[in-house]
Amino acid sequence: MAGGSTEWRGRSVISKVVSLLDAFTPGAPELSLAELARITGLPVSTTYRLASELVAWGGLERADGGTGYRIGVRLWELGALAPRNATLREVALPFMQDLYQATRENVHLAVLDGREALYVDTITGRGAVRVRSRRGGRLPLHATGVGKVLLAHAGDALLHDLCESGLRRYTAHTVVAPGQLRRSLADVRRTGIACAREEMSLGSSSVASPVVDADGVVVAALAVVQRAGRADVRKLGPAVRTAAISTSRALQDRARHAGPLAIRSR
């Protein structure tokens, strides 16, 4: 309870600050002081002091009307300095743009981060189907095209872990049977193309393909997401595969000229 819990005692200042920042989510981009205190378990007085210091630094900013807080631009500036995906995005962007021009549909670039697909870049248009993914957002591996590509090349340990934890069903089409998922991932490795037909959201389907670095390691997945009724893997698959292969070659050329790149998944 806000102000009533003693679990905050003994925590470092950094731990408290991180808990404040971690309270913000895509579903809760703006939080009041009371909500921050409740979520973090910190006293209201401590929450206010730390939030005020973060506002002064630029990590948080006051929401319109001054009744709440939201993430500040300073964190975005620091995030842009992270080298892990900067080069990957830079190399992939021209091919993503070509793919968007050819399809006029959502184009996504994602990497493996823990047990989820982290979307490092997206391109969308006004006429494209609405999707749940966004730059900097995360979605499950087993229910998305990019996720299936990344999971197919991540090794058996991660797949076993996910299956043991239970695969969440997002729609009636989500593959949640471990045996069926294993077979589909084997097809991804064989064909270089992954499909997710209305598994994450009804009405949208994705086609994805792996991006490979100079060491032959799959470091990302490139995908197109479009309305389920328009998704034709026979036509879309080769286009996505070509864009992913072109990105891989450009990434490999960059590595040969500039040395190894820190874009491996963690």
How is 208-237 classified by DSSP, letter by letter? EEEEE-TTS-EEEEEEEEEEGGG--HHHHH
Same-domain pairing of 69 and 91: no
Can you tell me the distance from the alpha carbon of 48 to that of 53, in angstroms, rounded to the nearest whole number? 9
Of 59, 77, 95, the position where a domain reaches its end is 77
Taking only the tens place, the pLDDT of each residue in 2-23 is: 444 555 566 788 999 999 998 9
Same-domain pairing of 72 and 125: no
Q: Supply the range of the domain harboring residue 30.
A: 13-77
Same-domain pairing of 50 and 159: no
As for how many domains the chain has, the answer is 2
Same-domain pairing of 204 and 217: yes
- Is residue 6 situated within a structural domain? no
Can you tell me the distance from the alpha carbon of 117 to that of 200, in angstroms, rounded to the nearest whole number? 13
Intervals of the chain under pLDDT 50: 1-4, 261-263, 265-266
Looking at the chain, list the stretches that DSSP marks H as alpha helix, in order from N- to C-terminal side: 13-22, 33-40, 44-57, 73-80, 83-103, 145-152, 156-165, 178-191, 233-258
Same-domain pairing of 102 and 63: no
Same-domain pairing of 31 and 118: no
Same-domain pairing of 89 and 22: no
To the question of pTM greater than 0.75 for the whole model, the response is: no
Taking only the tens place, the pLDDT of each residue in 177-194 is: 999 999 999 999 999 999
Can you tell me the distance from the alpha carbon of 42 to that of 4, in angstroms, rounded to the nearest whole number? 8
Same-domain pairing of 36 and 21: yes
Nearest to 95 by CA among 108, 111, 84, 82: 108
Of 77, 92, 114, the position where a domain reaches its end is 77
